[in-house]
Amino acid sequence: MIINNKIEKRRHHDDSHQHPQGIAHDDVQKRSGGSREIKVVKRVLDVNAKMANENRRLFAENRVFVLNMMSSPGSGKTTTLEKTLVHLAPHLHSAVIVGDICSTHDADRLAVTGVPVVQINTDEFGGDCHLAAHVIERAARDLDLANLDLLIIENIGNLVCPAEFDIGEDARIVVLSVTEGEDKPIKYPLMFRECEAALLNKIDLLPYLDYDLDLAVKNIHQVHPNMAVFEISAKTEAGFKPWIEWLTDAVQQKRSPNKP
Ligand SMILES: Nc1nc2c(ncn2[C@@H]2O[C@H](COP(=O)(O)OP(=O)(O)OP(=O)(O)O)[C@@H](O)[C@H]2O)c(=O)[nH]1
Ligand SMILES: [Mg+2]
């Protein structure tokens, strides 16, 4: 099932490009005394945080574990999901919300696995480069949450902005492919600080690259000590076992009746 969920124009902020840590010109008001005050950015944050908490409550009520998957464009989120969903299918009921600025390419690919997929396109409301909590709330209405164990949200390809927005998820992971270079955790630290695990993808390409895997892991741990790192190839499924176990354990913990 694919639902092409073109979220209606329902922004909580104006059309300028706004982020909690990136300030659009419209948001800055000059005071007569010369000091500058940021008003709209705080309102955006407050509204998003409130909606994220409502999402979290809804997901908890339905005991659905929600994973927010983020990365640069093309590092392999959809390919990893295509394979991961097949591994999980015998044990868990899963669904995916996938965000892209345009097109249903990713939803078409993921639907082949048989899981329900909701595609979000942000082009109709300004081409946002991240998914915000109110967009997830709208998309989740198209899913039968009561019958789900796991909801995976493939965020829009971007190594910066998605990390700034709480969407009510239980865990966040970042996919970093070996073709992006070892230095990305150092250059884009927020993403790595905010995530609980990293998938170091496309290791099947290592024989063809001058890539230092140990340095990449060291850089990840410099930003986020002890972060779980899974070295995988979504193409060959090398390294998948520990990744699938990590995810399955996380889902089971949320669904455990003994959990307070
Ligand atoms: N060799 C190799 N190629 C891969 C691997 N994973 C993904 N790819 C390729 O990388 C390209 C991008 O993969 P996607 O899964 O579409 O990446 P994505 O992160 O979902 O991209 P966006 O949704 O556009 O941000 C495709 O051509 C994949 O076939 C891998 O493990 N090894
Ligand atoms: Mg994708």
What is the CB-side half-sphere exposure of residue 45 using CA atoms within 13 A? 13
Q: Which residues contact 238 (CB under 8 A, 6 or more apart)?
A: 203, 204, 231, 232
* Encoded tokens for 260: 């307070």
On the question of pLDDT at 159 being above 60, the answer is yes
Residue owning the nearest CA to atom 32 of ligand 1: 202
Q: Does the beta carbon of 231 sit less than 6 angstroms from any atom of ligand 1?
A: no
Please report how the helices 240-255 and 77-88 are oriented relative to each other, as an axis angle in degrees rounded to 10.
70
Q: Does the beta carbon of 73 sit less than 6 angstroms from any atom of ligand 1?
A: yes
**Looking at per-residue confidence, does 14 or 184 come out higher?**
184
Residue owning the nearest CA to atom 29 of ligand 1: 79
- Scan for tokens 């609980």, then name that residue: 196
Domain 2-8+41-253 CATH assignment equals 3.30.420.40 = no
**Diameter of the chain by CA atoms?**
64
- Which of 77, 78, 79, 102 is the pocket-test mutation for ligand 1 (most atoms within 8 Å of CB)? 79
What would the pLDDT profile of 207-249 be if each residue is shown by its tens digit?
A: 999 999 999 999 999 999 999 999 999 999 999 999 999 999 9
Output the pLDDT for position 44. 73
What would the pLDDT profile of 120-146 be if each residue is shown by its tens digit?
A: 999 877 888 999 999 999 999 999 999
Q: Does the beta carbon of 74 sit less than 6 angstroms from any atom of ligand 1?
A: yes
Helix, strand, or coil (residue 158): coil
Q: Does the beta carbon of 71 sit less than 6 angstroms from any atom of ligand 1?
A: yes
Q: Tell me if 163 sits within 8 A of 191, measured CB to CB.
A: yes
Output the pLDDT for position 127. 86
- Total-model pTM: 0.88
- Which of 69, 71, 78, 96 is the pocket-test mutation for ligand 1 (most atoms within 8 Å of CB)? 78
Q: Does the beta carbon of 202 sit less than 6 angstroms from any atom of ligand 1?
A: yes
Structural domain spans, the chain = 2-8+41-253
Q: Does the beta carbon of 153 sit less than 6 angstroms from any atom of ligand 1?
A: no
